[in-house]
Amino acid sequence: MGTKRKAKPAVDFKKTKPKLGKGKQPASNATDTSFKAKAIAMPQQSIMLDRSQTATTRRRQTLNDLIQQTHHPSSGARKDAVMGMLELVTTYQGFLEQNTTSLINTALPLIGDDDVHVRAAIARYFTNLLASIPDDTFAPYASSMLLMTSSAMSHISMFVRIDALQILSLLLDKVPSIATQDWESALDAKHSSDSHGQRILQAFFAMLGVAAGAQRARSGLVATSLSTTSVNLSASQRLTVLRSLYKFLCQAMRDSQSHGMPLWCFQSAFASPSDLEQFEQLFHHSSLEAHPWTIAHVPGASTHVVFENLMSAARVDQSVDAAPESIHERLAHVLHASLLSTLLDSLPAALAPDGSSSDVHADLVMHLLRIYLLLWRRIITLHIKTRATQGTNDVPIKSITQLEQLLAHLGPYFTGSIDGPHVRLELHVIYCELVSLCTMAAHERAPSKHLPSVLAFLQTLLTQNHAALTHNLYQALLPTFWLVLSTPIDGNVDILFALLAHFDTVQNRALHMVAFHFLARIAMLPTFRSLQVQVLPLYTPSLRAAWHTWILSLPRLLWQSATYAVSSRTSSSSEEEARAALTLAQHILEFLHCTLLPARHPLFEHEALVTELAPRVAPLFHVHHPKRGIVPGPYRKLPVPTQRMAEAVVQLIPISPLR
């Protein structure tokens, strides 16, 4: 049997044998004195910070706290930071002026944020911010904000692109000239500048799926029609894009159609440029104050500029088969495929045969036709002006077939009915102006096949539904009215008679202004010797009585406008209407003076007119009251230039004004 090995007794201190190549090991009872430190960021827990004199939010956050929070990984924290900065701006007076740079630059990267709630907060934030910042203060930040906006419009996510259009709309209202600067360079390689307008327009091309066609057009190649199936946009998203594109084009082209009478339709009516200029300057006084004539009021140009313009006009090739393509025509050609396909998809829902319509599709069709109208109005206006100044009457427009194609698709939906919603009526008005543009651009000025239906629509609108015809619609129909009057077509005499009769039923002062300016210009057309368009309805014997009745109604409108303009009861909110009434009174006096000055007028009998106008103009100066005696009229309170014009009219009719 083996023997058991006895266990060794425990020792108090065990000696460790050192290993080869190892240093001396620390003792087992040695104390480690090394330490590590880490920084802890607590922006919301600085309890030692005195914030009694600092602007803070309801959560006790300062601007620096909110700036740090805009970089937070959580989208909710970023949204709260934006709303916190908006709270500081709206709560503390003068806070925006002191921290403009920080408030703008901090929020710019969030324009293209991935979270929809952050982008909604940014849109609300900049809406309040830009409304409170003066234009000159915002100017240094405009370029950076436009750069971030155009970048967001090119984002990979379509939702980010759509939301960036809200910021673009704010910038178009705030800095339109900077936002649309050099937009032509997106379609013309000669403009090589990388401008904001170019980037924004190219972003629109990408949204509509025509970027490749626009690039070929910019390179001078033929822009073929492209399919837009690769761009998946809902009806509401496409409406947002088209609404922003229309606003951008209006600002880019400085469209003044809504701010004055469209006189482009009269450009081919005169053989003399001086007569055309004189006709355009009628009723065009921007101020009633008399300004002394000085050499500083005469626009000047350097000799070099004048020489270049003369040489460029002399180099015009009169033997070309078609007019040179303008930048607007190129833009219309690029957008035509996308706009037309969207229009054909939306028309059945917008203008259903049973009269029902979808609001989204109706707005979509409205903005589509507005874009078409804006582009073709500019294309044909420039073409008519070039044709009149350079004598290129035989040169057609290359892409006029696209406008004819558009009218062919719109024709079946143009019922001529004025019943239904206001949107349907406005669509009919746009259709009428497009017909006018297409007819006026035609080579032989032949009556369009669409004119009979347009004629019936105008007759119904003027005679049966006066309330539906607002001053904006009336102004939009002026080119169509002129087209009907200057085209040999059956029914144009009835239209002129309806226009004169409609004037007597107008109650709205703004509509009175537009209608008077148009009819007064028509009445003065025969006084221009270079008139080369035969306006046959003017000389119809059956209309002479209607013209006489119309001009005899002007003194009543003159007295009403002058009385409203000088009334002491006019509130501060109606000051603009009072100025418009004073302008209308001034223009009526000018027209009466121009009509009564010559001894003979093609439309009015001078002696009968003078005799019948005298008692009607007298209330402007004084009224014989049965009990109060002679009551002074509004003449004494009118501005001095208007008084002088009234006195000039009185010298032509037997009235003695009372001082």
Spatial neighbors of 69 by CB under 8 A, at least 6 apart, are 43, 61, 77, 78, 80, 81, 84
Name the token pair of 484. 């009907």
When pLDDT is averaged across residues 171-178 and rounded to a whole number, the result is: 93
- Please say if the pLDDT value at position 122 is more than 80: yes
pLDDT for 383: 81
Q: Virtual CA dihedral for 323, 326, 328, 332, nearest 10 degrees?
A: 60
Task: Flag the least confident range among 104-108, 378-382, 554-558.
Answer: 378-382
pLDDT for 530: 86
- Please say if the pLDDT value at position 375 is more than 60: yes
- Please say if the pLDDT value at position 288 is more than 80: no
Q: Do 335 and 371 touch, CB atoms closer than 8 A?
A: yes
The residues facing 33 across adjacent strands are none
pLDDT bin (cut points 50, 70, 90) of residue 323 is low
pLDDT for 1: 53
pLDDT for 516: 94
Helix axes 327-350, 211-218, angle to 10 degrees: 160
Task: Flag the least confident range among 99-108, 175-184, 421-430, 556-565.
Answer: 421-430
Taking the C-alpha atoms of residue 232 and residue 104, their distance in angstroms, rounded to an integer, is 33
Write down the architecture of domain 53-133 according to CATH: Alpha Horseshoe (1.25)
pLDDT bin (cut points 50, 70, 90) of residue 393 is low
Tell me: the pLDDT tens digits for 548-583? 999 999 999 999 999 998 886 655 557 888 888 999
- Please say if the pLDDT value at position 21 is more than 70: yes
Chain center to CA of 111:
24
Taking the C-alpha atoms of residue 31 and residue 146, their distance in angstroms, rounded to an integer, is 63
Chain center to CA of 534:
34
Q: Do 370 and 246 touch, CB atoms closer than 8 A?
A: yes
When pLDDT is averaged across residues 125-139 and rounded to a whole number, the result is: 93
The domain limits of the chain are 53-133, 154-243, 255-286+326-526, 540-658
Tell me: the pLDDT tens digits for 498-516? 999 999 888 888 899 999 9
Q: Could you give the residue ranges of the DSSP H alpha helices within 188-292?
A: 196-208, 211-218, 235-252, 273-280
- Please say if the pLDDT value at position 299 is more than 60: no
pLDDT for 290: 41
Q: Do 493 and 485 touch, CB atoms closer than 8 A?
A: no
Q: Do 363 and 421 touch, CB atoms closer than 8 A?
A: no
pTM of the model: 0.79
pLDDT for 137: 92
Tell me: the pLDDT tens digits for 231-272? 688 889 999 999 999 999 999 987 544 456 788 788 878 888
Q: Do 461 and 418 touch, CB atoms closer than 8 A?
A: yes
pLDDT for 258: 45
Q: Do 101 and 133 touch, CB atoms closer than 8 A?
A: no
In a 10 Å sphere around its CB, with 0-12 CB exposed, 13-18 middle and 19+ buried, how is residue 1 labelled? exposed
H helices then E strands: how many in the chain? 27, 2
Q: Do 338 and 402 touch, CB atoms closer than 8 A?
A: no
Element (H, E) at 630: strand 629-632
Name the token pair of 228. 């837009």
